[in-house]
Amino acid sequence: MNELLWFFIILATYGITAYKQTSTQTTLVALVSAMMIGSIFGSIGFFGWIAFAIIVVPLSYSPWRKEFITKKLLAFYKSVMPEMSTTEQEAIDAGTVWWDGDIFSGKPDWKKFHAIAQPRLTPEEQAFLDGPCEEVCNMVDEWQINHVDADMSDEIWQYLKDNKFFAMIIKKEFGGLEFSAFAQSRVLQKLAGVSAVLSSTVGVPNSLGPGELLQHYGTKAQQDHYLPRLAVGDEIPCFALTSPEAGSDAGAIPDYGVVCKGKFEGKEILGMRLTFSKRYITLAPVATVIGLAFKLEDPDGLLGDTKDLGITCALIPRDTKGLDIGRRHFPLNVPFHNGPVRGTDIFVPLSYIIGGEAMAGKGWRMLMECLSVGRCITLPSSAAGGAKALALATGAYSRIRRQFRMPIGQMEGVEEMLGRIGGNAYLMDAVTSLSTAGVDLGQKPSVISAICKYHLTERMRQIVNDSMDVHGGKGICLGPNNYLGRAYQGVPISITVEGANILTRNMMIFGQGAMRCHPFVLKEIYASQMEDKSEQLDSFDDAVFGHIRFAVSNTFRSIWFSLTGGRLSAAPFKDETAKYYKSMQGYSANLALLTDVSMGVLGGSLKRRERLSARLGDILSYLYLGSAVLKRFDEQGRNHDDLPFVHWAMQDCLSKLEIALDDFLANFPSKAVSIPLRLLVLPFGKRYSAPSDSIEHEIADVLQKPNATRDRLGYGQYVNQEHGSLFGDLEQTLVNVVKSEPIFDKICKALGEKLPMTGLDKLAERALAENIITQEEADLLSETEAGRLRTINVDDFDPQELLMSTSKKVKKPTAAKRKATKTSKDAKAA
């Protein structure tokens, strides 16, 4: 009996050291100490020490371990490890590991996490947001752009060029703005809240494209020629990657170039003949310089011994002979410039390669490194900006619009949707803030960028759908006064571009995450590929036994989390958020454990079991999203009024994480493995439910009235109340409605009637005549009625007006005219 007790004591000792992830030496000292104490008490004898030595010595003495254990493990590893393609290798090598690495560690360092500096705008960046950004938003007329012109006005295009909207990423030495990633994100959020065409047009030149590639890889001559011209808008860039036969599988592009000699500008030079067919290229119809990705071949060895050089990126001027460009696609009635680019047997100099001849064949790595940054900013920020704008608009509409003599926002079905809209908007803004902070710290977070792209565009789809359901007929009737319909039409575009979401979730997030973020997997791969046998064995030994200790540690951490629910774990704050930190620490250990078990049991076939890897990617993603929410709450002063949004976002993330965990275990192909795993990580079932009705009621209430919490949620969005601003008019009407409600109640009480809150202008006249209200109150009711009708009414047309070719082009007032109108209106009111 005593022997069994001491066996468990020794096991518990090992479990504690494994939980704490102590060094091998510390673990060995702890185990030997426990054995010696057992011997002193007479419970561990000679045979116990023999058994202990048989297990511990071969594992602790490295020469024996390498000879008798590591060699066999290395041979087995090589036999089961699938071949990695060059493009896969370059994709994994590109980018950096940041907080996603901590999430994968099973032991996130929350102190380090909260020490990450909060991103802030410089005075210059804030001035740009308050000045040029506000002004260009004032200039936008969505109906004119989308239905009449299928383009932005010449005035807007010129304004964007004059104010360097296309040069946010370009360094000041070349005439650019050199804004931080955080500032770019805030700009795109504001623009996206007003017009998808505007945000797409500005976003693309500042994302993956010639400007970014030139700054990192261009020759000095290329930089000096192109970057100043791109900065002032003399050149409009695009980047052509996608082909009809290679969409998400961009590495399989069939477009090619052949190194050869040829005539160029009357001289024979060494160059390349290019043949390509590209599509879905944003800004291609108006671009003056085209970034082109293709596979370069050198069959005659003119550049060296390598025949197939690989993917290469080059800059092709629009006036290049044989270039077919200018036609447009029409993506879901959202007319941002997008179209095909084609060419057959076009001869250009080798100097057109970005970075010159030395960068031939290095294009894929260039693209992956730049994409890991751009994908963190453009689409996630546009989605977050749209989400914030719709949260404000849908909340306001729900208070203004009445049915059954009450605001529709008081109906529980509408509250449910407002809760989702507000909670998602809070989460999405938190994620863009954290992710761009990482970029500004010098990170190139390839895994995080995939998480941001997938989850924020999917959540934007949910927000648009919920907003459309709340608005009903107001949302579906297009016209100059509809601020929602085009977003509903266009949201699948963001789902599709920059790596389709199906691909991103099923293959990229976990596929790259397991390789990049796991502390030992990549080390094992690199060790197994070393040519020096001695170095290979040493490196693989360090990696594989580090991996084993890591797996054992997360097994014990998972057991402890399952038994305690994380209640005994540490958290950086002792408030209502503490439980979330504790749970996420446990789920981090679960993720690491499930990853190791999956790779150990399924080996290379895990790569083909996309739905399993997608669920592991979901766990990683929800831990990252939740981290962003907790950091935002802390950075904004841990304001108690924001807690409904925090609770909603965290409960949404953790309940969905548990669904992914449960589905993973239910579908794991080996029941002999999945059943013990379930007992290990979910022995008592799920711990979290979806956000409660009461939380969504609180969020709905916040969205339907002016308050500081609502202002924080929508901070930075365009709600200017200049003439012609739909969002500004909606905000002012909300303010007026809230102010008018007690006046309306006073009138009803005085008249002894329960009236519908309609015809407020007529009611004001009656109440004024009976001395129930003042003239000021009567004016407010009349203004409120006018705004209320503008909010709930929809556009109608003469049939001929709906034909684009015959639509009357009603130009939006210029900024000067808007100011004059406002001055006149203010004078009249005075």
**Catalytic residue set:** 498
- Show the CA angle centred on residue 281, arms to residues 279 and 287, nearest 5°: 125
Question: Looking at the DSSP assignment, which residues form a beta bridge with residue 424?
Answer: none
Residues 305 and 299: their CA atoms lie apart, in Å, by: 9
**Three-state SS at 477:** coil
User: CA separation (Å) from 610 to 57, 506, 509, 511, 668?
Assistant: 41, 5, 11, 9, 12
Give the distance, in angstroms, between the CA of residue 454 and the centroid of all CA atoms in the same chain: 6
**Token pair for residue 652?**
């949404």
Q: 237-240 and 289-297 as β-strands: parallel, antiparallel, unpaired?
A: parallel
Whether residue 504 contacts residue 450, with contact meaning beta carbons closer than 8 Å, is answered with yes
Residue type, 121: L
Half-sphere exposure of 70 (CA within 13 A, CB side): 28
Residues 555 and 561: their CA atoms lie apart, in Å, by: 10
Question: Looking at the DSSP assignment, which residues form a beta bridge with residue 260?
Answer: 271
Spatial neighbors of 468 by CB under 8 A, at least 6 apart, are 475, 476, 484, 488
Residues 466 and 271: their CA atoms lie apart, in Å, by: 54
* Helical axes 726-751 vs 775-792, angle rounded to 10°: 130
Q: What is the maximum alpha-carbon separation in the chain?
A: 106
Question: Looking at the DSSP assignment, which residues form a beta bridge with residue 296?
Answer: 257, 310
- Show the CA angle centred on residue 228, arms to residues 226 and 232, nearest 5°: 115
Length of the chain as a residue count: 830
Residues 187 and 169: their CA atoms lie apart, in Å, by: 12
Residues 93 and 88: their CA atoms lie apart, in Å, by: 9
Residues 652 and 630: their CA atoms lie apart, in Å, by: 13
Q: How many CB atoms lie within 10 A of CB 133?
A: 23
Span between the terminal Cα atoms of the chain, in Å: 94
- Show the CA angle centred on residue 447, arms to residues 442 and 449, nearest 5°: 70
Spatial neighbors of 697 by CB under 8 A, at least 6 apart, are 412, 415, 419
**Token pair for residue 450?**
């995939």
Residues 273 and 267: their CA atoms lie apart, in Å, by: 15
DSSP state letter for 240? E
Residues 237 and 427: their CA atoms lie apart, in Å, by: 33
Whether residue 18 contacts residue 553, with contact meaning beta carbons closer than 8 Å, is answered with yes
Residues 544 and 534: their CA atoms lie apart, in Å, by: 15
Question: Looking at the DSSP assignment, which residues form a beta bridge with residue 273?
Answer: 258, 347
Residues 355 and 223: their CA atoms lie apart, in Å, by: 9
Q: 289-297 and 308-317 as β-strands: parallel, antiparallel, unpaired?
A: antiparallel
**Phi then psi for 117, rounded to 5 degrees?**
-60, 140
The residue written with tokens 């400007």 in the block is 211
Closest CA to 285 of 246, 327, 257, 234: 327
Residue type, 658: E
